[in-house]
Amino acid sequence: MRLRLGCLVLVFALTASIAFAEEVTLEPVKAKNPAYSRGREIRCQILTECPEGVKAPEGELGWANLRLGKNNMLLAFADDSEKGCILYVDRDMDKNLAEEEALTGTSYSRQNYSRDTFDLNEMPGLFKVGDTELSLDMSLRIIRSTSKYQGQKRIYYQVSTFTTYQGKIKAFEKDWKITWIPGQDPTLQASGTASYISGYHFGRKRILLTRDNISLKKEKIICTFETKEDETLVPVSVPEGLTSLTIMKRGNNIWINCLPEKSKVYLEEGDYYNVRYEIVVKSDADTWKLSASRSGALKVDKNTAIPDVEPLTLEVTPTFRDNGKITLKPSLTAQGGTRIRIYKNNQMFPAPDLIIKDSEGNELARTTLKYG
3-class SS of residue 60:
coil
81 occurs within a structural domain? yes
The rounded Cα 63 to chain-centroid distance in angstroms is 27
282 occurs within a structural domain? no
DSSP string, 237-271: E--TTEEEEEEEETTTTEEEEEE-SSSEEEE-SEE
Residue 232 DSSP code:
T
pLDDT class for 311, splitting at 50, 70, 90? Answer: confident
Q: Which pLDDT belongs to residue 205?
A: 92
In angstroms, the CA 294 to CA 273 distance is: 8
Residue 162 contacts residue 125 (beta carbons within 8 Å): no
Residue 162 contacts residue 139 (beta carbons within 8 Å): yes
Domain that holds residue 125: 2-16+31-163
In angstroms, the CA 163 to CA 180 distance is: 9
* Domain limit, last residue, from 163, 189, 220: 163
Examine the pLDDT at 261 and tell me if it is beyond 60: yes
Q: Which pLDDT belongs to residue 13?
A: 34
Interacting residues of 339 by C-beta distance below 8 A, sequence separation 6+: 292, 293, 294, 333, 371, 372
Q: Which pLDDT belongs to residue 335?
A: 74
Give pLDDT tens digits for 262-293: 999 999 999 999 999 999 988 888 999 999 99
pLDDT class for 10, splitting at 50, 70, 90? Answer: very low
Q: Which pLDDT belongs to residue 89?
A: 97
327 occurs within a structural domain? yes
In angstroms, the CA 211 to CA 223 distance is: 9
* Domain limit, last residue, from 137, 163, 189: 163
Q: Give the mean pLDDT of 215-219.
A: 85
Percentage of the chain beyond pLDDT 70 is: 92
228 occurs within a structural domain? no
140 occurs within a structural domain? yes
Nearest to 23 by CA among 186, 136, 134: 186
pTM of the model: 0.74
* Domain limit, last residue, from 119, 146, 163: 163
Give pLDDT tens digits for 17-47: 333 468 999 999 877 888 877 778 999 999 9
Distances 276 to 15, 102, 339, 341 between C-alpha atoms, Å? 39, 46, 9, 11
pLDDT class for 3, splitting at 50, 70, 90? Answer: very low
pLDDT class for 16, splitting at 50, 70, 90? Answer: very low
Buried b / exposed e across 69-107, counting CB within 10 Å, b at 16+? bebebbbbbbeeeeebbbbbbbbeeeeebeebeeeebee
Give pLDDT tens digits for 90-103: 999 999 999 999 99
pLDDT class for 372, splitting at 50, 70, 90? Answer: low
* Average pLDDT, rounded, for the chain: 86
281 occurs within a structural domain? no
Residue 18 DSSP code:
P
Q: Which pLDDT belongs to residue 21?
A: 64
For the four alpha carbons of 207, 211, 216 and 219, in that order, the dihedral sign comes to positive
Query: Cα angle at 43 between 111 and 219, to 5 degrees?
Result: 140
Interacting residues of 355 by C-beta distance below 8 A, sequence separation 6+: 363, 365, 366
Examine the pLDDT at 303 and tell me if it is beyond 90: yes
Q: Give the mean pLDDT of 141-146.
A: 93
Between residues 311 and 89, the one the model is more confident about: 89
360 occurs within a structural domain? yes
Percentage of the chain beyond pLDDT 90 is: 50
3-class SS of residue 212:
helix
The full 3-state SS of 132-192, as one line of letters, equals EEEEEEEEEEEEEEEEEECCEEEEEEEEEEEEEEEEEEEECCEEEEEEECCCCCCEEEECC
Give pLDDT tens digits for 48-87: 999 999 999 998 999 999 999 999 999 999 988 777 889 9
Between residues 238 and 326, the one the model is more confident about: 238
Per the structure, the count of domains in the chain is 2
38 occurs within a structural domain? yes
Give pLDDT tens digits for 152-198: 889 999 999 999 999 999 988 889 999 999 989 899 998 777 678 88
Give pLDDT tens digits for 189-208: 987 776 788 899 999 999 99
The rounded Cα 281 to chain-centroid distance in angstroms is 29
